[in-house]
Structure 1
Amino acid sequence: MDQPAAADPAERRFLFLLGSTRHQGNSELLARHAAAQLPAGTAQRWLHLGDLPLPPFSDERHGDTGYPEPTGHLRTLLDATLDATDLVIVSPLYWYSVTTSVKHYLDHWSGWLRVPGVDFRARMNGRTLWAITAMADEDPALADPLAGTLRTSGSYLGMRWGGLLLGNGSKPGQVLDDTAALRRAETFFATAPAPVPA
């Protein structure tokens, strides 16, 4: 099965979705350090999920009404997601996975898959999903559930997996003391993503 071609670097459009409960948290600082290494002129859009509260997700797969056309913040996030060639989930490690706001956003993927005319799965196929997180513990294996959640969710849509950039930090700004993470950040987006699953 042929793999979709990777996006031309000059045409890449990055969407950074910030899932922390605070602005300028450690995960965001690490993400901004990584983004600063992108080639000049690379399109970047940064959205803080806390600034875009979403309606509760309701599973309507087997109901009579189906999923309505997204409006408001839901429409903003859908359009931004579909416009991106590279989707970057920036979430601190909360109970070994993503934050509530990120999980809520992912829940709405289920609705977008079924909104008539959106063709969400087909349009996300071949794009790249990345993850950036900061955690207080020094054992990187504790972030495996977060990476697994995102990698498997992206795989379901046929997305490439760019990888997880992991930093250490608990107090505000502490991740900037993690010199190893900052070095990894400098080449993170230059890493070749894993192929789209067959």
Structure 2
Amino acid sequence: MKITVVSGSTRENSNSEWLANRLIEGHEVDWLKLREYKIHPIVDQRHTPGGFTLVDDDYDTLIKQVVNSDLIVFATPLYWYGMSGLMKNFIDRWSQSLRDTTFDFRQAMEGKRCFLLIVGGNQVHLKALPLVQQFQLIFEFMKIDFKGYLIGQGSKPGEVKLDHRGLAELGVWREKFQLWADEN
């Protein structure tokens, strides 16, 4: 099973990346740390006759890696009750991929297994729910198999390691990841 983690954190050794590392431990994984790539914001050309113009950045390389994955983990800190700007920018560019005539992006993503991991500060289990719903709607639109989500609590570096609830849920999800890997 080819697993890719798409990290929207701006911080090296972030809480969300620490939790993602624990989640996928023991599996071969490709990491896409969005902060390490140049991804320009989308210029909305969905309704122009010629469609989107080519953009000179790293997006095409990243989306090809995502498309070639069996399971994608989206890991993001909770910023202002939503996904990080890096993650939002990456997903916004999906509109461009949907108009790409070189491949059928929606068909390529259909049935992909995706998992969401969110880490945030106080009351994160309540405050992250709108973000979970946003990803559910994105995945539904793309016909992606949304396997579930894990919410961790932590703001300061390393604080998520003290989140007993998140760590307990992590154990359950690790078992499920192993079952998915065994299916392939």
- Which SS does the other structure have where 1:91 is aligned? strand
* Percent pairwise identity: 28
- CA-to-partner distance for each residue in 1:127-167, whole Å, 9 max, x for gaps? 11211111111351211111111111011110111111011
Q: Which of these residues, 125, 132, 141, is aligned with residue 156 of structure 1?
A: 141
What is the TM-score when the length of structure 1 is the normalising length? 0.83
Q: Which of these residues, 70, 79, 94, is aligned with residue 85 of structure 1?
A: 70
User: Unaligned stretches of 5+ in structure 2?
Assistant: none
- CA-to-partner distance for each residue in 1:3-35, whole Å, 9 max, x for gaps? xxxxxxxxx211101101111111111111111
For 2:76 and 2:54, the matched residues in 1 are separated by 27
- Which SS does the other structure have where 2:78 is aligned? coil
For 2:74 and 2:117, the matched residues in 1 are separated by 6
- CA-to-partner distance for each residue in 1:34-70, whole Å, 9 max, x for gaps? 111xxx5x43111110111212201111113312456
What is the TM-score when the length of structure 2 is the normalising length? 0.89
Counterpart contact for 1:131–1:164, Cα < 8 Å: yes
User: Unaligned stretches of 5+ in structure 1?
Assistant: 1-11, 194-198
For 1:100 and 1:176, the matched residues in 2 are separated by 24
Aligned counterpart, 1:132: 117
Please tell me the residue identity of whatever aligns with 2:102. Answer: G
Aligned counterpart, 1:30: 19
Structure number with higher helix proportion: 2
RMSD over aligned Cα atoms: 1.8
For 2:164 and 2:152, the matched residues in 1 are separated by 9
Which runs of structure 1 show a deviation greater than 3 angstroms over 4 or more consecutive aligned residues? 68-72
Counterpart contact for 1:33–1:186, Cα < 8 Å: no
